Amino acid sequence: MTQWLVNGLPDGSLSPQDRGLAYGDGLFETIALRAGKFRLLDYHLERLQTGCERLAIPPPAKGLLGAELQQLAANCANGTAKIIITRGCGPRGYRTPVATHATRLVGLFPAVDLSLPAWRDGIRVRWCQTPVAENPLLAGLKTLNRLEQVLGRAEWQDDTISEGLMSTLQGHVIGGTMSNLFMVSGSQLLTPDLSRCGINGVMRRLILEVAAELGISTLEQSMDAAQLLAADEVFLSNCLLGIAPVISLGDQPLTIGPVSRQMMQALAQRGISECAVA
């Protein structure tokens, strides 16, 4: 059963005047609960803090969100948690209120079926026609404005396709509707530059850190479809699923290569169970 706390109250409600509802004025985090522990929680809370500071939304008191997550997970071993922070209520219109009282929602979706076929065996990916808009002010953040991703995901109903890649109007590939993108070229691991748009995922952050530990050269750069199709390996990352090697991109088949496998093994050793070889 899904549980929610609204400003700490299990029976709390969201006002129709909340700016998160009216304008998408807020941020969110999605966090994996595995074996009773919230994975990469510090990374999630750090990104949320950064987002609140950039949007001038008062952040929750230190330790409050962690305590509320633990409260919800008291009798749950596996699931998915969600934190939503909005600017709170305000009068009609885009102008932000002088006095801001942020709204805090913390939810838990339990009973994740870990027996489902894992992304680690390779996924099919398509190209999305819906473009991603560039806005450096919001780049990297996980804001409540996800309409581009909603429209991108609505482009296909084929259950054999796991994800769709999205690009800017200039043709720069940014990532998937719910994932970050990596490609291997020679001995180098590359991922899109997210300084103008896209979400700087916590699993993406971990992968770059682990690659540095393993001595794998990494580079954040602009990339287009032609570069991606010429890559030796392509994989996606997601905070709930770890790494997903791409075995086909559009009509082109791809191979799961040694760097993808090495990274998956390294993440599995760091507790990302979805990357472990069955």
DSSP assignment of the chain: --EEEETTBTT----TTBHHHHH--EEEEEEEEETTEETTHHHHHHHHHHHHHHHTPPPPPTTHHHHHHHHHTTT-SSEEEEEEEE--B--SSSSPPSS---EEEEEEEE---TTSPPGGG-EEEEE-SS-B---TTTTB--BS--HHHHHHHTT---TTEEEEEEEBTT--EEEESS-EEEEEETTEEEEE--SSSSB--HHHHHHHHHHHHTT-EEEEE---HHHHHT-SEEEEEETTTEEEEEEEETTEE----HHHHHHHHHHHHTT-GGGS--
pLDDT interval class at 113 (50, 70, 90):
low
Give the pLDDT mean for 145-163: 96
φ, ψ for residue 47, nearest 5 deg: -65, -40
- Residue in 223, 276, 258, 274 with CA at minimum distance from that of residue 78: 274
In single-letter form, the type of residue at position 69 comes to L
Q: Note the pLDDT of residue 98.
A: 82
CB 220 within 8 A of CB 193: yes
List where CATH 3.30.470.10 sits in the chain: 3-110
pLDDT interval class at 134 (50, 70, 90):
very high
Q: Note the pLDDT of residue 6.
A: 97
Q: What number does CATH give the domain 3-110?
A: 3.30.470.10
Instruction: Please give the Cα distance from 133 to 97 (Å, whole number).
Output: 27
* Tokens encoding 172: 């720069």
Asked whether the predicted pLDDT for residue 125 surpasses 90, the reply is: yes
Which range is least confidently modeled, 30-44, 111-125, 192-206, 216-230? Answer: 111-125
Asked whether the predicted pLDDT for residue 100 surpasses 90, the reply is: no
Which range is least confidently modeled, 4-13, 125-134, 193-202, 205-214? Answer: 4-13
In this structure, CATH architecture of domain 119-275: Alpha-Beta Barrel (3.20)
For the chain, the average pLDDT equals 94
Q: Note the pLDDT of residue 121.
A: 86
Q: Note the pLDDT of residue 115.
A: 53
CB 247 within 8 A of CB 214: no
Instruction: Please give the Cα distance from 14 to 68 (Å, whole number).
Output: 17
pLDDT interval class at 87 (50, 70, 90):
very high
List where CATH 3.20.10.10 sits in the chain: 119-275
Q: Note the pLDDT of residue 118.
A: 62
More confident residue, 99 or 178: 178
Which range is least confidently modeled, 10-24, 104-118, 220-234? Answer: 104-118
Instruction: Please give the Cα distance from 209 to 18 (Å, whole number).
Output: 38
